[in-house]
Amino acid sequence: MYLIGNISIYLGIVISLYGIIANIVGIKKKSSKWIESARGAVLSLAFVASIASFLLLYLLGTSQFQYKYVASYTNESLPIAYKLTAFWAGNAGSLLLWAVLLALYTAMVVFSKEKKNPMMPYVSSILMVNILFFFTVMALNANPFEMTDKIPADGKGLNPMLQNPGMILHPVTLYMGYVGLAVPFAFGIAALILKRMDSEWIKLTRRWTLLAWLFLTLGNVIGGWWAYLELGWGGYWAWDPVENASFLPWLTVSAFLHSVMIQERKNMLKTWNVSLIILSYILTLFGTFLVRSGILTSVHAFGDSNLGTYFLVFMAFMMLFSLYIVMTRYGLLKKDSSPIEAYFSKESSFLLNNMILVAAAFAVFWGTMYPLISETFTGTKVNVGAPYFDKVMAPILLVLIVLMGICPLIAWQKAVFEKFMKNTLWPLAMGVATAIILFAVGVKGIYAIIGLSATSFMFGTHLQEFARGIGARRKATKENVLKAAFKLTVKNQRRYGGYIVHIGIAVIAVGVISSHTYSTEVLKTVDAGNSIKTGDYSLKFNQLTEHTKNGNGIVVADIDVTYKGKDIGKIKPEKIFYETWPEPSTEVAIKTNWSQDLYVVLSSWENKDKVTFMVKVNPFVSWIWMGGIIMVIGTAFALIGGRPTTSRYQINKGISRVGG
């Protein structure tokens, strides 16, 4: 086993090196034999990486504690699901996960229907440079198949916080997002090397980019949900450096997904688009660097790691290489781009949206790195915590929501202001009505009301867009509403998929604004038989019991809950004392309804009859998860359908040629 594991890692290095060389020779000699051989290397890499991964899974699943990694992250009593997910609990395993995903993605790209595309040798070389890096780091510094000096009787076990279904999904989805961004990056660079300045690379990678964005969205939402359930502080997003690191590429890819539409239609923003995808890719490396360098304090960081230097060097290399390629092709990129017809057009609004998204990314980056910058340059140690990000990001995201309400109403090329105003009327009325209703029912907090009204306006715009589309279709085809709605969305999945994503964002915005502004918290000690009252809830503490499960001690509080005087059942917050972990773990009890969550943490106890609880009422938190699901549905909808629009520019160009 030891041999197979290590051989597979070293083979990974050798094969990726060979693949790169074979591609270079093939390109130089214009030899299809060498290119074919490089393609074989990609397949071998996928095979070798899969062997290493299955082997690690087997070692984890069968508790082979002679392996350092297995002994460090699992123990005998750990449920099998968490034994297997310990694959990505540590540095070495997560690097292997990255490598195997990258190798599989590369094989999928290289053996796709575009395999004969001249860009492909370049794309596979760039992706293999990444694979080479990951295998090299594993071989030099983080080998998942390293043996222990002395075989321990039992392993150290998995951090209790990682023993949650979130552990199965959150890291994998985020990694799939990170790794997925390497594909459009490789295509973008390949197109530049080949001096192919059209938007072919965008067309070829549209689905890859969307898929990566989908996984990043999913990863972030699941991460928030996991934090909410597991960490016990009642929040879902702490603006932790590593959370920020996964949010950064999400923001820049969001900008990219909008700006590519302009390149597809107008053949402009070519430099901008290629820069955005390079930036997004570099940011994925930056995130990994943050987790592994230990330069910033984070709950996500791998504590005992010195891998940061490797990532810093690789990141710098990729950045310089990309910059060199862009700079040497800058003149070509600038050529043959169409101008914008008018200031007031969808093109301009997309530029503005890109500016806001990139500014948001800059603000997050700045806040994340500022403690380090401040200490290095001014010698002053400062913290940049959640309140900073809340204050800085709130206005930026508000502008973004307003823009999302305005952009769909602005026409391409040249919008007519009067028509725009006419189209804005209903959504605007919806926003104003929301504000009036909120004031009328006594909701406080002017900023929250502004945010909720803006969200309502944005939601109204999208509803109106659907209604208008259905109306136009019915007028032309005389179909019934359902058929017209179905055909309308299916005929233009890209556009309406995007609108569904926007609606998901509106739902999330309601959850974020409401839970942030109107959440209440009480920390109270009660005797058995007494109640805690908060908002419309009353919680009667009955008893504290103790039992063991899988060798772990569990303390459970039994509480009867009434809502507006009505019995809504029991909740049982817990504290689990793991044998293998010094700190107890909190298991939060949550009662959810459509408008709020009752969030109860068993905080501490003096004896069995006197217990302290933290009780929070978090309004609309479930909307965040619901919005996330809507976003994923919308993205998947746009992903499975959607005609690539590269042809539009060519068609337009063709028309103008014929016309001219």
The footprint of other proteins (CB under 8 A) covers 231-233, 235, 238, 240, 268, 297, 299, 339-343, 348, 351-352, 355-356, 358-359, 362-363, 366-367, 370, 374, 378, 380-388, 391-392, 396, 472-473, 476-477, 491, 521-524, 575, 583-586, 601-604, 612, 614, 659-660
User: Whole-number minimum distance, CB 364 to other proteins, in Å?
Assistant: 9
Residue whose CB is less far from other proteins, 124 or 293: 293
User: Whole-number minimum distance, CB 378 to other proteins, in Å?
Assistant: 5
Pairing of strands 531-534, 537-549: antiparallel
What sign has the CA pseudo-torsion 124, 130, 134, 135? Answer: positive
CB 576 within 8 A of CB 584: yes
Helices 200-230 & 241-266, crossing angle to 10 degrees? 150
User: Whole-number minimum distance, CB 200 to other proteins, in Å?
Assistant: 23
User: Whole-number minimum distance, CB 5 to other proteins, in Å?
Assistant: 36
Q: How far apart are CA 180 and CA 191, in angstroms?
A: 18
Residue whose CB is less far from other proteins, 442 or 660: 660
Residue whose CB is less far from other proteins, 434 or 603: 603
Residue whose CB is less far from other proteins, 420 or 605: 605
Residue whose CB is less far from other proteins, 1 or 352: 352
User: Whole-number minimum distance, CB 76 to other proteins, in Å?
Assistant: 25
Burial state string for 499-515 with b = 16 or more CB within 10 A and e = fewer than 16: bbbbbbbbbbbbbbbbb
The values of phi and psi at residue 227, to 5°, are: -60, -40
For the chain, how far is it from start to end, CA to CA, in angstroms? Answer: 70
156: which residues sit within 8 A by CB, 6+ positions away? 71, 72, 73, 75, 580
CA distances from 163 to 65, 83, 525 (A): 19, 10, 29
User: Whole-number minimum distance, CB 374 to other proteins, in Å?
Assistant: 5
Tokens of residue 218, six digits: 């999913």
User: Whole-number minimum distance, CB 9 to other proteins, in Å?
Assistant: 35
Residue whose CB is less far from other proteins, 25 or 522: 522
Residue whose CB is less far from other proteins, 355 or 429: 355
| DSSP H or E stretch at residue 124 | helix 120-140
User: Whole-number minimum distance, CB 159 to other proteins, in Å?
Assistant: 12
Strand stretches in 514-595, DSSP E: 520-527, 531-534, 537-549, 552-563, 566-571, 574-577, 585-587, 589-592
Q: How far apart are CA 105 and CA 508, in angstroms?
A: 31
Residue whose CB is less far from other proteins, 111 or 362: 362
